[in-house]
Amino acid sequence: MRPLIALFIWGWLATAWAAAGGSWSADSSGLQLSQQGVVANQPPLAPLAGQVPAGARIDDVVWQISLLSPAPTGLTLQLCTTRRCMALDGLSGRSLGLRGEPADSTLRVVMWVAGKGAIYPPINVVSQQVIVNYH
């Protein structure tokens, strides 16, 4: 009988924990990057106030970045909280790189092209979107 009660309690706790998870999404237009060797911090992406429960932590992040023209060779992208950054391996994807960070963190896409001189055509970020899954 005790194992059955313990199993029931464990199942209830697991269900409650899973139910406590959620997600938030944010999107915005972006900025232009026209010079190599310059870091461009895109506009912040954040949840609505009160949307994320206190103490919630990031599980994974999904991102989508749309550019006006094809990405130039050497474009480096990162997604950052105020505490750490993760490298993005393309204009869209999913990563566990920010796992454990506070789920109500404001995120920023950071981009640059190494070198010196003008980027032609300039990189115009049409839109940027993130979906943050948390528990």
What are the average pLDDT values for consecutive 10-residue runs of the chain, which has 135 residues? 46 46 98 98 98 98 98 98 97 98 98 97 98 99
- Which phi and psi angles does 17 have, rounded to 5°? -65, -45
CA distance 110 to 101: 18
Per-residue pLDDT, 84: 97
CATH number at residue 27: 2.60.120.260
CA distance 33 to 6: 58
Question: Is residue 2 included in any domain, yes or no?
Answer: no
Question: Is residue 108 included in any domain, yes or no?
Answer: yes
Report which of 132, 131, 133, 130 is spatially closest to residue 43, judged by C-alpha positions. Answer: 130
Residue numbers of the domain that contains 88: 22-134
Question: Is residue 54 included in any domain, yes or no?
Answer: yes
Per-residue pLDDT, 20: 64
Counted domains in the chain: 1
Alpha helices in the chain (DSSP H): 2-19
Q: Look at the pTM and tell me if it is higher than 0.85.
A: no
Question: Is residue 13 included in any domain, yes or no?
Answer: no
CA atoms within 13 A on the CB side of 80: 17
Question: Is residue 70 included in any domain, yes or no?
Answer: yes
Question: Is residue 89 included in any domain, yes or no?
Answer: yes
Question: Is residue 79 included in any domain, yes or no?
Answer: yes
Omega before residue 102 within 30° of 0, cis: no
Tell the residue number behind the tokens 């026209």, with chain if given: 34
Question: Is residue 16 included in any domain, yes or no?
Answer: no
